[in-house]
Amino acid sequence: MDDVVRSAPVLAPGLPAVGVRASIDCADVYALPARLGTGAAFLPQAGWSDSSAEGERWLALGEIDSLVAPAGAGFAAALEIVSRARERLKVLASLAPEPGMVRYFGGLAFDPRHGANPGWPDGEAARFVLPRVLLRQARGRAEVTVLGTPEPEARRIVERIRRAAGDDAPPPSPIRVTETVHPEARERWTGAVLQALRAIESGAVRKVVLSRDIVLDADRPIDSWELLRLVHERDPQGLRFCLRLGGGSAFLGASPERLVAQRGSDIACDCLAGTIARGGTPQDEARNAAALLASEKDGREHRIVLEEILAALAPHVRAVQSPSQPRIMSLAEVLHLWSPIRAELRQGVGLGELIGALHPTPAVGGSPRLRAMDLIHELEQRPRGWYAGLAGWIGPDAADFAVAIRSGVVRGNRMTAFGGAGIVRGSDPHAEWDETARKAASFIHLFAERA
What number of other Cβ atoms are within 10 A of residue 185's Cβ? 15
Choose the catalytic residue: 143, 207, 333, 432.
Answer: 207
Q: Give the contacts of 417 (CB within 8 A, at least 6 positions apart).
A: 213, 214, 215, 216, 407, 408, 440, 443, 444
Choose the catalytic residue: 124, 143, 226, 257.
Answer: 257
Indicate left, alpha or beta for 437 from its phi (over 0: left) and psi (-120 to 50: alpha). Answer: alpha
Establish whether 201 is a catalytic residue.
Answer: no
For residue 255, give the nearest of 369, 363, 161, 174 by alpha carbon.
Answer: 363
Rounded alpha-carbon distances, angstroms, from residue 418 to 69, 80, 148, 370, 385: 23, 27, 38, 21, 11
Helix, strand, or coil here: 84? helix
Indicate left, alpha or beta for 348 from its phi (over 0: left) and psi (-120 to 50: alpha). Answer: left
Does the CA dihedral 182-417-123-410 come out positive or negative? positive
Establish whether 257 is a catalytic residue.
Answer: yes
Q: What backbone phi and psi angles, to 5 degrees, belong to 315?
A: -70, -15
What number of other Cβ atoms are within 10 A of residue 84's Cβ? 16
Indicate left, alpha or beta for 24 from its phi (over 0: left) and psi (-120 to 50: alpha). Answer: beta
Q: Give the contacts of 444 (CB within 8 A, at least 6 positions apart).
A: 177, 214, 216, 417
Catalytic residues: 207, 257
